[in-house]
Amino acid sequence: MFGALYLVDGSADALLEVAREVTPRFEICGRGDLALDLAGLTRLLGHPHALARELRRSAAARGLHVAIAMAGTCTAARLLARHAGRVVTAAAAPIVVAPGAEAAVVAPLPLALVADIEEPSTLAPSNALPHDRTVAPSHDLLSTFRRWGLQTLGDLAALPADAVATRLGTDGLRWHRLAEGRDLRPLRPAVAEERFEQALDLEWPIEGLEPLSFVLSRLLEPLAAHLERRGRGAAVLHLRLHLVTRAVHERSLELPAPMRDARTLRTLLLLDLESHPAPAAIDRVVVAVDPTPARVLQFSLLQRPLPSPEQLSTLTARLTAVMGEGRCGSPMVADSWRPGAFEMKPFSPTPNLQAPTSTSRTPTVALRRFRQPVSARVRTNEGTPVHVAIDRRGLDGGCVERCAGPWRTSGDWWKNDPPVGGGVVGVGSCRAWDRDEWDVTLGDGATYRIHRDRATGAWFVEGIYD
C-alpha cells in the first residue's frame, strides 16, 4: 500500500513533519508532493481509512490543506492526490483505492497528469491557489496524444502497448504504463541529512588550552566513532567557542586528506588555537566536520610508503605555529616576472608510480641562487664589468674573462613602493624592482649571475652556475 500527499495550501516543511510522524520511508517528488510507503502500517494504525484520517488530522493540526490518496501503487496514489488537490475542494475526504483497482480508478483522470509526474519542475509554488496550479501542455508526447484525440488516462491505457512502443518508442511505452497506474521504479526514500557535530555546555567557564584539551577529547572521540561507522572522514574541521562575552570564536581547518583520528584532530585544533587564542573565557564548545568518503589506501610494492596524512598534518601544524602563517609548505614558481619570486602551497607529497621512459640524461646548466644575494664590489669599464670582489668567504672574485649582458628587468613600479635591490622576495611582496643583470666568468673558472640595482647603484651576486 502506498500513499500520496499533495499540498494545496500551507508550508512544505510542515508537510515533511506529517510524513515523518507516519513512516520513515517517503519520497520527495517535488515541493509539496510526497509519496509514502505504508507497507506494514495497517497492523499499527488499523484500516487504510483510519491511516488516512490520521494523516488528515495531523495535517489539519499544522494548518495544512492536503489532498490525500492511497492505492496499491505509488503512481496511482500520486495521480489521484494531484487530481484531488486541483479539482476537489480541500475539505474532501481522503481517497482510498483497494489494491488491483488502480487502472479503473485512474482511467477518468485527465492525461495531463502524466506530464506533471514526468516534469516535476512545472509544479506551481506551494503557496499557490488550486485554480493557479495548471500544467502547461508543453510535453511533446502530450501534444501528440491530444492530436490523436486522447483526453484521459483510460483512453491511453486502452491502446495496445506494442503499437504505442512501435510508434513512440520507450517514452510512449512509459506513458502507457503510467496511464495504467503502474509503477516504473521502486520508491526512493528520502535520507535525512546526517550532521556530524558534537557540542558541550560547560558548568563553569574555562580559559587556556589545557582544560580545553580535555573538552575537545570528550567531543572528538564520539565524533570520530560516528565517522568510522559511516565510512567517512573529515575534510574540514570546524570549531565554535561560545564565550562569556556572548561572542563566538570560530576556527575552520581544511585537512589535506580525509581523517578521523580523534587524537590527531585534537592536536590540530590546539595548535591552531595557540596562534589564534580565544579572547575570553569559554562556556560552550561545538565541534563539527564536513564529511567526505574515507580514503582507501593502496601501497606500492616498488616504493617506500609515505607518511600518513595524520602525521604530515600534525607536523605542518607544529611548524606553522612556530614559523607563522604562509611560511610552511612546498615552494612553487609564482606567476610573476620578479627574479626569484615564489609562493607557498600546502605540502602534500604524491608518489610517482610511473616508470621513467628513458635512462639517458641530458647535461643541463642550472643557476644555483643564493637565498640572500651577496653584496659585491664591481669595477666597470664603460658600463661593462671588468672585476668582481665578492664579500663572502669561499667565493673567490677576480677579473672578468667573459661576460654577457646586460638584461634589464623591472616591475611592480605601479604599486608606489620603493625599489628593492637584493633579497629573494615572495610573490606576496609589493616592492618594486629595477636592475641590470650580467652573466660573468671570472678567472677561477666559475660563472656567476650578478646584477646592479639601478635605484641605488649597488651590486649583488645572485647565484652561481653549476
pLDDT of 166-178, one tens digit each? 988 888 898 999 9
Section 109-128 average pLDDT: 61
DSSP readout, 349-375?
-----SPPS---------EEEEEEEEE
> How far, in Å, are 116, 211, 242, 273, 306 from residue 251 at the CA level?
46, 18, 12, 8, 29
Instruction: Give the Cα separation of 230 and 219 in Å (integer).
Output: 17
Q: Tell me which residue of 286, 279, 270 sits closest to 201, measured CA to CA.
A: 286
Band of pLDDT at residue 121, cut at 50, 70 and 90: very low
Residue 250: pLDDT above 90?
yes
291: amino acid identity, one letter = P
| The pLDDT of residue 305 | 62
Residue 443: pLDDT above 60?
yes
Tell me how far apart the terminal alpha carbons of the chain are, to the nearest angstrom: 81
Section 90-116 average pLDDT: 82
Longest dimension (CA), the chain: 108
pLDDT tens by residue, 300-348 = 666 666 666 667 777 777 777 777 777 777 888 777 777 777 778 777 7
Angle at 159 between CA 109 and CA 146, to 5 degrees: 55
Residue 419: pLDDT above 60?
no
Residue 8 CA neighbour count, 13 Å, CB half:
23
Q: Tell me which residue of 67, 73, 61, 78 sits closest to 118, measured CA to CA.
A: 78
Residue 233: pLDDT above 70?
yes
> How far, in Å, are 201, 260, 268, 290, 421 from residue 215 at the CA level?
10, 17, 14, 20, 51
- Write down the domain spans for the chain: 2-179, 198-293, 367-465
In eight-state DSSP terms, residue 378 is E
Q: For 344, list phi and psi in degrees, rounded to 5.
A: -105, 140
DSSP readout, 284-302?
EEEEEEEEEEPP-----SS
Dihedral angle computed from the Cα positions of residues 202, 205, 207 and 211, in that order, rounded to the nearest 10 degrees: -30
- Claim: this prediction has a pTM higher than 0.85: no
Residue 150: pLDDT above 60?
yes
Lowest mean pLDDT among 60-69, 129-138, 338-347, 393-402: 129-138
Instruction: Give the Cα separation of 75 and 183 in Å (integer).
Output: 6
- Partners of residue 374 on adjacent β-strands: 461
Residue 177 near residue 184 (C-beta atoms within 8 A): yes
Residue 90 near residue 56 (C-beta atoms within 8 A): no
Q: Which helix (H) or strand (E) holds 257?
A: strand 248-259
Band of pLDDT at residue 433, cut at 50, 70 and 90: confident
CATH architecture of 198-293: 2-Layer Sandwich (3.30)
Residue 5: pLDDT above 90?
no
| The pLDDT of residue 231 | 84
> How far, in Å, are 43, 397, 442, 459, 460 from residue 400 at the CA level?
101, 9, 5, 15, 15
